[in-house]
Amino acid sequence: MSLAIFDLDNTLIADDSDYLWGQFLVDQGIVDKDRYERANAKFYDEYKQGHLDIVEFLRFSLQPLSQHEPEQLYQWREQFILDIITPILLKPAQQLIAKHRERGDTLMVITATNRFVTAPIVALYGIEHLLATTPEMIDGRYTGQYTDIPCFQAGKVQLLEAWLKTRPETLEDSWFYSDSHNDLPLLKLVDHPVAVDPDEKLAAYANEAKWPIISLRSDYCPIAHFSK
């Protein structure tokens, strides 16, 4: 039994749920359109370029959670999942997850996108374990802050290492699937790094390191890289 870890955005789904949630808030008139849309696009571009200030971004992205009752937030989230996320779930991703499940692997998603947004998406794939940036909640309301450390870049490694201390699993024969060069710290740590529809920087690194490069945007599950 191995640990099979998956990034979420642009890996298991065909877009970025963090960015899409921001756009959903704009489209629903929940946040100021011009200011929020401009900032959301700026942060997303910085993420893709590899120089996102994650603390600054989290102050921005978690603020709307603090401005509404949780019951209302959950209603909006349910609509977001149904209207925006369900159409971008990937069948080959489901097949890849099923292949790991058949092998008896422990399945996990590690994502920088906060747990409020990602928990129901990960549940759609039937994956039990999720490491994500966690919004702070006090007295039944979100505060707009986060707990622990952001699950981003080297933070993914730190949170995974902390999780492993409480579990029987190890990184022996471990897998990690990601599209982003931001995940290189964790990709370098596992035994089986796999670049999935990678961005330009990750594709270049994966080619140099001779890592498998696969696509989950096609009509079949690319499973030839599995060891027999």
Active site residues: 7, 9
DSSP structure class, residue 81: I
Q: Helix 17-27 and helix 115-124: axis angle, to 10°?
A: 110
Look up residue 193 and give its two tokens.
């790094």
Closest among 82, 129, 80 to 101, alpha carbons compared: 129
Nearest to residue 131, comparing CAs of 93, 88, 183, 82?
183
Task: Tell me, rounded to whole angstroms, the distance of Cα 22 from its chain centroid.
Answer: 15
| Per-residue CA distances from 187 to 177, 180, 196 (Å) | 8, 10, 12
Neighbours of 65 (CB within 10 A): 20
Distances (CA, A) of 212 to 1, 12, 27, 216: 21, 16, 38, 13
Give the pair of three-digit tokens for residue 158.
């730190």
Give φ, ψ of 32 to 5 degrees.
-65, 120
Distance of alpha carbon 154 from the chain centroid: 14
Distance of CA 38 to the CA centre of its chain: 22
